[in-house]
Chain A
Amino acid sequence: MKVVGITTQQEVFVGSRTRNLRINEFLIIEDPNQGDLIGEVVEAKTFNRYIPLNIAGDFVDNSVIESLRTLGYNIDEETIFIGKVRLLNEALYPVLTGSDIRLPAFYEVKDLMIKSKKEDGLVIGVIRNTDDMAADMDQEYKNLLNTYEENGLQPQREIPYIMDVRSMHQYPHIGVFGGSGSGKSFGLRVVLEELMKQSIPTIVLDPHFEMDFSEKASYLQGDSFDFEDRFKCLQVGFHVGVKFQDLSAQDLKNLLDAASTLTDAMNNVVDILFRRRDSFYSFYNKLNMLMEAQEEGTVEKIDNRIKDAATDEERKAWAERKELYLSYDKTCPHSSVRGIVWRLKRLDNDGIFSKDIREIEEGLQRGKLMVIQGNTRILQVFSTYLLNNLYHKRREYKDAQYKKTTADYFPPFIVVTDEAHNFAPKGYDSPSKSIIKEISQEGRKYGAFLILATQRPTLLDETITAQLNTKFIFRTVRASDIQTIKEETDLTMEETRRLPYLRTGDVFISSASMGRTIFARIRAAISSSPHTENPFDELKSKGKEDDKMFMEIIENKLPINDTDLLHLISEIEKEFSITFTIDTLEDRLKEMTQKGFLSKEDTIFGYRYKKLS
């Protein structure tokens, strides 16, 4: 291998007759004047001056090539391998053309590749195309992980990528970008496994109900790390919720807004009617009574209600309504009050007010990973409250420390979310966005960190994106997202061009702490996602169940004449309370005939379906 062609201080071309070069491989250029220079292959090409065989303008037919091959000459062997190599550090002078090239030994690249001990870092994967250098790697970096490839589970052959957690103090936030199926969720899972191993307090917002770590990955054999007591899945409204009495007016407004956007007038209604320490019931009741009074329309009508009341109790209730009406009707328009009532009911139906966040806090205190599950809308509502709450607890503790006063201990923590563009969308406001933005801008000071994953970086708030110091970039096909990635990361032209072609699980890690982009493969996860069933398998097995049920229903009605269908429908309705129309029943019968459960014969009375024996 030699340096060929025109060189600069930053880049050279390398040619080899025998060794194919790989992208992201490291090479050492032995410049006779400047000494050893280290560079990374950024583009690799092969070239055969005879293929396509167009010599002096003539195209060569295969039979001649074949004849030459028989004579011992294989034209493919004329291939030369060319790589574009970018120097890691600019050289003082352009590299000398003709300089020899060799592969580095491990110790020569160790500091470039490994920034952290495995005990203090997150062992996330391997650095691709480093197998040659890994051959003489220190024992402590070997056999740390497996990768999962097309041909199954593979032992580690390359240098491990160990993310330095401690550097998060300096470079606090991580973005995980990539198109559908590119390996984001899998990558997040691996990161979370590592966070659990390190007992780092973590909150995961899990809109897909996929971040469960109790199942071992099917491809692993033998013992593996058990995460059982390191994480907990909690569903909003079922295990965790908001304690109404603890809410401030602002919290409440955020929650209501997250349920559905609040108007100014509605915000006003909350400010006027909400009292600190109101219970859900007392607040709801107050609103409801005011609304009922407003529905009467005038004081006279309410007075009439009081007068005509059948019981004492009813009279008292209407008197209360009148009171409210007199105090608030002017400032709280009926439509706004109704809007608040509706939103409150919606939140209550989701169960949000039935629980609290104590369990989450305790989990974090004990260094656990707390997975908060719920659909996207509920998570938006809940996370707004939750993150505000936790962040401020941590902040109070740190501020107290700075001011040398005392406050309850609250640990630093990491917030992880998939579909981050739903929590912090670009272009419009959402309640969860403001707290995420706050953490992105000031979290570093207080030890609150973000890991935000999204399919659509273009839709993620740009101030937040700008704060993500480390970015994992998986396969991305959409042009607008590639554009965003170009703007938001220091990926080179060559790397950006490769984005649409990355294999699932291969990732560019562009990190300020490394100072350059690393091409890595995420390791095989130890745990597995609870929904690994292929949706098409699911459809199939669901279909089979349906077929079985249908056959049970019509079993003893067979044979069925097509003139009897109406009668049959009412029978089925009576016996099984399942309703068919003539069309759906007929369709179903035809389908079962096609599938070979029934046979259909033509009689003088029309068709008849019989059981196939």
Chain B
Amino acid sequence: MILIYSIHSDLKEKIKDLNQMLQDKYRGIFSKDREFLRDFIRQYIGQIETMKRLDNRHLALYEAKGGIVGVDGSTNTKGGAFPHFVQVFQGLAKSTLKDQEPVFMADIYSPLFSDSLKNPLEKDEKVQTEKKNRLLSDIEVKVALESIKRHKPYGILMDGSLIRYNIYSGDLWAELRQVCEEEGIILVGVIKDIKTSTIGDMLEEVYPDLSINAYDRELLFGILDYGEIIYIKDEVSKKYEYEYSSVFMRSSIAPTVIGMDIIDSQKGHIEEMSRLVYTLTPENSRGVPLWLDLVDKEVKISDTIMEGLMEKYMDRDIYERFFIPERARRN
């Protein structure tokens, strides 16, 4: 338990203020009842429907047609401030079919060993984050490609929005997308933290006095019933320009809503893939399909593993000289 009284009162005040500000900002929209927003969604965003789980016959068919592959990546950093750190990346594509070996790939990055040292811009934190996102995104796409090459699954569930791959892995992603289209492998992204503002923007358009820059995440909180889905109209979808179709759905008892993207040319499969995600999500979970949770768990590089690897495979001298920051030495 946190000892509240030991915290400086200034901080308490700041948090109270934040709470108040959020209350004030959203008062307008929070005071509308649930039906108001649901009507608004139906009218401007897309149809709200109730999904049914896929039955076992259907799932067995997927199994027969190559199973479902879950893809996720993970990264961990060891060291201190720029340029004295290493970053490792690991990607995993894991099929539900038992006889198909999971595809693991790894990558490593350290500014100490790249051209970045010569480039003064590289020091910029933003540039570093960008680099990290790119490497992570690349490795995920690579394992997905490899798993297609080896196993030719029925469908692939990527962890997160597909837009991310457009942004960070341009050409590689285009290749994956093309292979999937050619081979008829359904490619979707499952988004546990939706970051779009489709509904808020539309609200602003229709009701200028409700102009609050709200994100879909908070607006949709508690608005859908368990098992309900919104098929987002192409006209309003922010992702349309990237040629994706998207849905929002409430896939568990938790009131939060998750999203799913599918490549446009495979839009005909959007309903079955949504139902697959729904079927694979435990009702008491936060809404993520179990399969992606398992993949996430398996790909994760924990701090312990990271440290173990460094200690085991790096000379002590090198390790200390480059990667143990002063503050870690002090304890």
Residues of A near any B CB (own CB < 8 A)? 49-50, 53, 55-56, 58-61, 63-68, 70-74, 77
Evaluate contact between A55 and B297: CB separation under 8 angstroms: yes
Contact residues in B for A67 (Cβ distance below 8 Å):
53-54, 56, 59, 279-280
Nearest-CB distance from B163 to chain A (Å)?
Answer: 25
Q: Is B97 an interface residue (CB 8 A)?
A: yes
Evaluate contact between A68 and B280: CB separation under 8 angstroms: yes
Evaluate contact between A72 and B282: CB separation under 8 angstroms: no
Contact residues in B for A60 (Cβ distance below 8 Å):
282, 284-285, 290
Contact residues in A for B62 (Cβ distance below 8 Å):
71
Residues of B near any A CB (own CB < 8 A)? 53-54, 56, 59-60, 62-63, 67-68, 95-98, 279-286, 290-291, 293-294, 297
Evaluate contact between B98 and A73: CB separation under 8 angstroms: yes
Contact residues in B for A56 (Cβ distance below 8 Å):
285-286, 293
Bound CA–CA A49/B294 (angstroms): 10
Bound CA–CA A53/B54 (angstroms): 22
Contact residues in B for A50 (Cβ distance below 8 Å):
294
Chain A: which residue is nearest B283 at the CB level?
A61
Bound CA–CA A49/B96 (angstroms): 17
Nearest-CB distance from A6 to chain B (Å)?
Answer: 11
Evaluate contact between A55 and B293: CB separation under 8 angstroms: yes
Evaluate contact between A72 and B63: CB separation under 8 angstroms: yes
Evaluate contact between B282 and A64: CB separation under 8 angstroms: yes
Bound CA–CA A66/B280 (angstroms): 9
Evaluate contact between B98 and A66: CB separation under 8 angstroms: no
Which 4 A-B pairs rank lowest in CB-CB distance, beginning with the nearest?
A70-B59, A71-B96, A58-B285, A73-B96
Bound CA–CA A77/B98 (angstroms): 9
Bound CA–CA A566/B98 (angstroms): 84
Evaluate contact between A72 and B294: CB separation under 8 angstroms: no
24 sampled A-B residue pairs with Cβ under 8 A: A49-B297, A53-B282, A55-B297, A56-B285, A56-B286, A56-B293, A58-B282, A58-B284, A58-B285, A60-B284, A60-B290, A61-B283, A64-B280, A68-B96, A68-B291, A70-B60, A71-B59, A71-B62, A71-B63, A71-B68, A72-B96, A72-B97, A73-B97, A77-B98
Chain A: which residue is nearest B58 at the CB level?
A70
Bound CA–CA A66/B57 (angstroms): 12
Chain A: which residue is nearest B62 at the CB level?
A71
Chain A: which residue is nearest B94 at the CB level?
A73
Evaluate contact between B286 and A72: CB separation under 8 angstroms: no
Nearest-CB distance from A189 to chain B (Å)?
Answer: 50
Bound CA–CA A494/B96 (angstroms): 39
Nearest-CB distance from B65 to chain A (Å)?
Answer: 11
Bound CA–CA A70/B293 (angstroms): 18
Contact residues in A for B98 (Cβ distance below 8 Å):
72-74, 77
Evaluate contact between A55 and B290: CB separation under 8 angstroms: yes
Contact residues in B for A73 (Cβ distance below 8 Å):
67, 96-98, 291
Bound CA–CA A219/B53 (angstroms): 57
Bound CA–CA A74/B96 (angstroms): 8
Q: A67-B56, A68-B290, A71-B62 are in contact. Are A59 and B281 (CB under 8 A)?
A: no
Contact residues in A for B95 (Cβ distance below 8 Å):
72
Bound CA–CA A56/B284 (angstroms): 11
Evaluate contact between A71 and B290: CB separation under 8 angstroms: no
Nearest-CB distance from B292 to chain A (Å)?
Answer: 10
Contact residues in B for A53 (Cβ distance below 8 Å):
282, 290
Evaluate contact between A61 and B284: CB separation under 8 angstroms: yes
Bound CA–CA A72/B65 (angstroms): 11
Evaluate contact between B290 and A64: CB separation under 8 angstroms: yes
Nearest-CB distance from A27 to chain B (Å)?
Answer: 24
Nearest-CB distance from A447 to chain B (Å)?
Answer: 60
